[in-house]
Structure 1
Amino acid sequence: MTSLPSNEFAHLRITLENILSATNNFAQENVVRMSEFSKDYKGHIFWSGELIHITARRLNKEMNDREQLLWMEISMLSTLKHKNLVSLIGFCDENDEKIIIIRNETRGMLFEYISNPMLTWVRRLKICVGIAHALSYVHYDESRDFSVIHRLIDSSRVLLNDEWEPKLCDFERSMKIKGSQRHHSFHTIRLDYVNGYGDPTYIETKSVNHKSDMYSFGIVLFELLCGRRSIIDTDNNKYLASLAITHYREKRLDEIISWDLWEQMDSRSFHMFTEIAYECLNEERSLRPDIDEIVTRLEKALEHQNAS
């Protein structure tokens, strides 16, 4: 996707002066996340008659494709509207700055809560259901003629609001395809994935489709199930994916699940959830479940838990 005419999004333009004021001149104490794509700052801005808490995503100036990334994100978030997606406030494109401004969600990134006991098993199930609904909408909705492959799904790209509701974010590397082609695979020149979450088939072949997102989502499911992150640098079993697959097959998942979480789990909820997560990691990509099937099964797992 090439750069889009900025006048199409003129109503979303926010001046650099306003962003500098909102973030206290990009003060270091306001940094909430750093990635290869951006440095993100928290702040607040008076906009459209209300004081809004924001996250300003300042795109890395060393990237040659900043222009493309900016307009991809703006194009996606200005078009896609769902309760489980982040809300776009605006953007800045001046003085060699490319900045995306989204509404800040109070509790921050899901990544920060993976091992936190505040995330009960019921909350974790509800979060998974919410992410699944977001992906179902992003992958295809009958009201649109296009479909989206996210490609960068991980637990740092899910934000949580006051009510622990998840909001999927970061669409700068997503692929926008025709709705009629949503069951096809696409060869890419470059690989875009997150280490520890990337679909092995995509990494090996550079061929991506919606089932690649399912693999990444499966890793997030196992993170929330086990209360541990996808990569643990100090752990002999560095990658959660291989650890989870082995323990699932050997019926020893309880050995890698936080005891506090294990005690909360209804057996039917546990078995249904783990089956879904495991199937998402199927080496044969075509055999991974579709997102709409996952939504139904996760909702059933939550129903079993609530009934216990």
Structure 2
Amino acid sequence: MAHLDHFQHLKIQLQVINSATNNFAEENCIGKGGFGKVYLGKFVDGSKGEMLVAWKRLNPEFGQGDSEFWKEIMMLSFYRHENIISLIGYCDDQNEKIIAYEYASKRSLDLHLDTNDLTWIRRLNICIGAARGLEYLHAPSETQLRVLHRDIKSSNILLDDNWNAKISDFGLSKFGPANHILSYLITNKVGTRGYCDPLYEELGFLTKESDVYSFGVVLFEVLCGRLCFGNNKRRPLLGLVRQSYEKNLVNEIVHDSIKEEIEPESLKVFTEIAYQCLNKKREERPSMTQMVEALELAVKCQVKVIRAFNLKKKSLLTSTKPYVILKLTQSSLQCAKKTSVKDKATPEWNEEFDLYVENLDVQCLHICLLNATSRIDDLKVMRSVLAAGKDN
């Protein structure tokens, strides 16, 4: 296996992992799945220093072996993106197969669906991050093949300290041609029931639209705050979604923790694109690029817009090359703007700007006036001013 020499720089000695996990002590186990168990432990990287690492220890009795092990290492080595979990290294010693990943401290999305941890804006931002990761896999650079994940589900979307989404678990993924709008592979059916594209389940036809279907299931899990599986107490999610959507009653299946905060237009944009993902005709499903655009629009429909502000403080604006920074006090959105002030004999700053605001009732707008060397003044415009400027 001479081609594996390419990955030797990623190899981690088993004794290092044994030390990091205290010989795979049960108290260090943070998860398990169809591959085996995941352990948390510290690792010292030559360039990054000490870090927490998730160590995935494959159990061959669970059906995954050399093929899935090396496939995941190859995928994560060649395909790097801020919304794809990062590979730290691997171990292939003494019949042990272990993969080391960056540690996602919030763990997987499925654990947070039915909680109050996730506001609607936070749920949207998580969906956007996952969509961008899939967009990258489906439309890579000219030198790379398209990656078909084959197992998109909420438990394979990890979350870091800042709730950024990271797609994980590439052991079942497949390469596909990237230069065709519609291309498919005929392959053995794998994945998780409830998330699988029906066309793929029935005929074995795998396309990038198969991932889109699975992602649509995840979107409705995020909206409804529950997994797609049914049980004795409730029906499977997709049947409920189709019935509610066709009767224009989607608002009735929204998770209770976010029902009151969702703006109707944001809900409309979100559910329309999510429902398109579930279309039985694959050619009528959206691309991941279209998904990103629609989800970003859902965010804009949710937040308030502050427009136009007029600031005249001549005594302050006479400083050398002044500039203004605007920043909201509390927001998970990108909400800062820097703008220059023209140096005139009677200088003033009068500019229209857009800031997307969530939770208007707790926001303040900070206007910081600075020059090249020091802060000149710090103005705090209270919520009443923000409210007055809303949607003008």
Question: Could you tell me the TM-score, scaled by structure 1's length?
Answer: 0.94
Higher mean alpha-carbon deviation, 42-51 vs 132-141, is at: 42-51
Q: Does residue 201 of the first structure (1) align with residue 199 of the second (2)? A: yes
> What number of residue pairs does the alignment pair up?
304
Find the aligned partners of 1:236 and 1:65 in 2 and give their Cα distance: 32
Q: How does 1:1-308 map to 2 (within 5 A)?
A: 5-48=3-46, 50-62=49-61, 66-181=65-180, 183-188=182-187, 190-237=188-235, 239-307=236-304
Q: Is the 8 A contact 1:153 1:213 kept in 2?
A: yes
Structure 1 regions of 5+ residues with no counterpart? Answer: none
Determine the C-alpha separation between the residues in 1 that align with 2:64 and 2:268: 44
Q: Aligned partners of 1:142 and 1:299: how far apart in 2? A: 23
Structure with the larger strand share: 2
SS where residue 5 of structure 1 aligns? Answer: helix
In structure 1, give the amino acid aligned to 2:74. Answer: S
Deviation, 1:63, is: 5.3
Match of residue 388 from structure 2: none
- Preserved contact between residue 40 and residue 58 of structure 1 (Cα < 8 Å): yes
TM-fit CA distance, 1:5: 3.0
RMSD of aligned residue pairs (Cα, Å): 1.6
Structure 2 distance, partners of 1:57, 1:235, is 34
Q: Which range moved further: 152-161 or 239-248?
A: 239-248
Cα gap change, 1:109 to 1:142, in 2 (>3 Å): same
For residues 231 and 46 of structure 2, what CA distance do their matches in structure 1 show? 45
Q: Any conservation in 1 of the 2:90–2:98 contact (CA below 8 Å)?
A: yes
Secondary structure of the residue aligned to 1:264 is coil
**CA deviation profile, 1:199-238 (whole Å, cap 9, x unmatched):** 111000011100000111001100111111111434330x
Code of the residue aligned with 2:277 in structure 1: it is C
**1:117–1:63: structure 2 CA closer, same or farther, 3 Å change rule?**
closer
> How far, CA to CA, are the matches of 1:232 and 1:46 in structure 2?
44
Structure 2: distance between partners of 1:65 and 1:57: 12
Distance 1:134 1:291 in 2: 9
Higher-Rg structure is 2
SS at match of 1:62: helix
Q: Which amino acid aligns with 1:135?
A: L
CA contact (8 A) 2:35 2:64 kept: no
In structure 1, what is the Cα distance between the partners aligned to 2:227 and 2:106?
18
SS in 2 for 1:184: coil
Contact 1:144 1:179 in 2 (8 A): no
* Higher-helix-fraction structure: 1
Moved over 6 A (4+): none
Q: Partners of 2:166 and 2:232 in 1: how far apart?
A: 30
Give 5+ residue unaligned stretches, structure 2.
306-392
Greater RCO (Cα-Cα under 8 Å, separation 6 or more): 1
Q: Could you tell me which amino acid in structure 1 is paired with residue 293 of structure 2?
A: T
1:271-301, Cα deviation, whole Å (9 max, x unpaired) = 0000011111111222111111111111111
